[in-house]
Structure 1
Amino acid sequence: MRRFLPDTFTMLLVLTVVTASFFPVHGASAHYFGIATNFAIGLLFFLHGARLSRDVVIAGLLHWRLHLVILLTTFGIFPLLVLALGQIVPNSVLPVSLYTGLLFLSVLPSTVQSSIAFTSIAGGNVPAAICSASASNIFGMFLTPLLVGILFSVGGQGGFSWDVLWQIMLQLLAPFIAGQLLQPWIGDWIRSKKKILMPVDRGSILMVVYSAFSEAVVEGLWHTFSVVDIATVIVANMVLLATVLCITMFGSRALGFSKADEITITFCGSKKSLASGVPMANVIFAGQGIGAIVLPLMLFHQIQLMTCAVLAQKYADAAKRREATKTQAGAKSGEATNAA
């Protein structure tokens, strides 16, 4: 049953939302808290850049077919599915602001840590997962704001100023590049201090969530949406994840990928990054109430963790059964040879 329980970070997210609901930051305090949050986000992406080994990137690029499938799924199939959902489900069932959150979710990059962890548990191609998930986040700094503008234009919600791309580069990409430049000197040390630096990763996300929901609560977030609205988003997230999992799993088999590559495509192609998504929302939708926009992403985060935990274990169990079958077949073959 532990696989179905929320992880520590998810419980912290829930606690942050509850805190923001009852004790929202506002006024001058919100201004200074926003400055601290921007600094924390910059530090987060600096650490991402410093952790990523260039050897991993170079080695992973050799498996270009796998990476291309994952990128097309992450930035192509996901948005198309959400656009189709918008045509099927009326606004009276799924409020526009929550659908905006789903649109934003659909163009986010894949996760890094959980994609790699589940690929490892399931017995997939871990080096390819490391490269693909990392590449997804790098490309996402450019593709996510571009796709947001395109999708919102298609959906009749208006685009955004191209200044947003410049803000993304300054606040997210510049620290990442700085980390990459310093990676040869500080990369090993940062990777060795993963537990010590983890509060920076999670703390920066919690700060953005607290700031976003504080602003949304002040504007009347919980008076705008009902329990039915939230339940609708949960169901939409579940359908979206299930559809993408089926596409990646059976599609990779149809394309002739090995079982290890199938696992990598399934887990890397079906994820959406909360760690990248919340800071990006803070930049792309600056000046707007982003609480409703990041809410679908927060719900999707927990759903994907619970679902993929079960799926990874099933892959691992299937691998053990195949190995046991091979061992038995080898033993019988040896006995037959000795008898002969």
Structure 2
Amino acid sequence: AGLWRRAVDRAQGRGPAGGDLSRGDDRPLYWARLGMTRELRGWEPGFGLSAARRAALLDRLERGSRGQDSIRLGSGAGYKRILVTGFDPFTLDRDIRIGNPSGATALALDGTWISTAAGPARIETAMFPVRWDDFAAGTVERTLRPVLPRVDLFTTVSQGRVGRIDVERFNGAWRGGFPDNENVSRTEPVPVPDPASRPQWTRTTLPYAAIVAARTGPFPVYDHTSVTEIPAGGTGPVVREDGPSAGSVARAGGGGDYLSNEIAYRATLLRDRLGLSVPGGHVHTPVLEFGAGNEDPSSGEVTDAGFERNRGVIVGQVRAIVAVALSPTPPVP
């Protein structure tokens, strides 16, 4: 818990920065957690430690250092409550320097207040690992089930495509098998409790039209409706640009078939199973790119001015999108 709080404080300008990376960088938290996990896995105390107890300690480290068990919505009246989630970095085998703008957003927004047309709002955040098996074990539901009934808005956030922001309209019940941060691959239906009642598709309840129309920042924002499905009676996957057809089987939501799609599917399915009418869905940020001249992973340069500027712009635009989503109003002419 202290690791999460220190990372949030660092991102929000409180206390010493430490190191030589800019405060908004999400990667020091990820690196620190990996180091702590390694130490805990190899720890041999004199009193002995059973495998079950070690696993429980690792679970506390994983949850606490991602803010999953410290979501503090408060009980006061007169303000709205917003939940935003982000992810760890991923595809580090391709480029060890990679950060995740959704994780940076979670650190930058946790515990902050924003002004909206609906009044003041408090944002609470959490982060999630890029690991298939953690999701199958229910980490999303365990974190969100106690808080979704108390929020006025939620959005899961992840890194998407280059140069654009997508509000994903539809989420599919399918895992496409891309390797995760443990190089594990899973190709199967999304494993959720009570699979007999598992829908093939869930959908956003975010006010996507208002978000697209609003002036939230420099990146274009799209209402993304494309999915990949096996149509009813069909034998192979096809892409449909206007959402799933009746009776189809999911092969990719608007957000694809990786964990971005899965967290959106799980969060919105939980919303529906709890019978909530709260606005909620998924926002895909632009890819966080390094600046000109620093595209080569072998350069050894883990940051640059362009990288830091891009990250700050993405965080600011997600904050603006959340404000619009809470109190959608017509765009200013």
TM-score by structure 1 length?
A: 0.28
Larger helix proportion of the pair: 1
> Higher RCO, 1 or 2 (CA under 8 Å, sep at least 6)?
1
